[in-house]
Amino acid sequence: MPQRLGFPRTRRIRTPAEYKAVYDVQLRQSRGPLVVYAKANGLGFSRLGLSVSRRVGVAAKRNRIRRLLREAFRHLQHDLPTGYDWVVVVKPHEPLMLADYQRLLSSLMVALHTKATGAVKSPPPAS
């Protein structure tokens, strides 16, 4: 049975208290125009919250970036570490292609998962 790529309301961070809980953990990673905050949620799935301020641009531009980020997360959600609340804060930039947002989200979320679990990278082999 193929995996469902839906993005129902249960997969979203919606209330200010939920956003605050993620920010308070202070586990974050930044790359390019995105800053991602993470918090383990104890659920069997990950949830996404987006924060796009007016400094990013006019409403049409902000909405386009939000749509692209939601779509990128929707496609990646089964390949990313599960059990996290992710909050993506967007810095001012011109909208990127969907593949670029997927690449950014994937690398940021995997890095945060590594940081959260305390996994240590193996040292390079001695020459």
Asked if residue 39 lies in contact with residue 115, where contact means CB atoms within 8 angstroms, the answer is no
How many domains in the chain?
1
Residue 96 belongs to domain spanning: 9-116
Would you say residue 1 lies in a domain?
Answer: no
User: Within a domain: residue 122?
Assistant: no
What's the whole-model pTM score? Answer: 0.82
Q: Which residue has the higher pLDDT, 121 or 113?
A: 113
Q: Could you tell me the strand order of the sheet in which 84-90 lies?
A: 28-31, 34-40, 84-90, 47-52
Q: Please, are residues 51 and 86 in contact by the beta-carbon 8 Å criterion? A: no
The secondary structure element, H or E, covering residue 77 is none
Position 35 in a domain: yes
In a domain, 52, yes or no: yes
Domain presence at residue 126: no
User: For the segment 36-76, what is each residue's pLDDT rounded down to a tens digit?
Assistant: 999 988 888 889 999 999 999 999 999 999 999 999 998 88
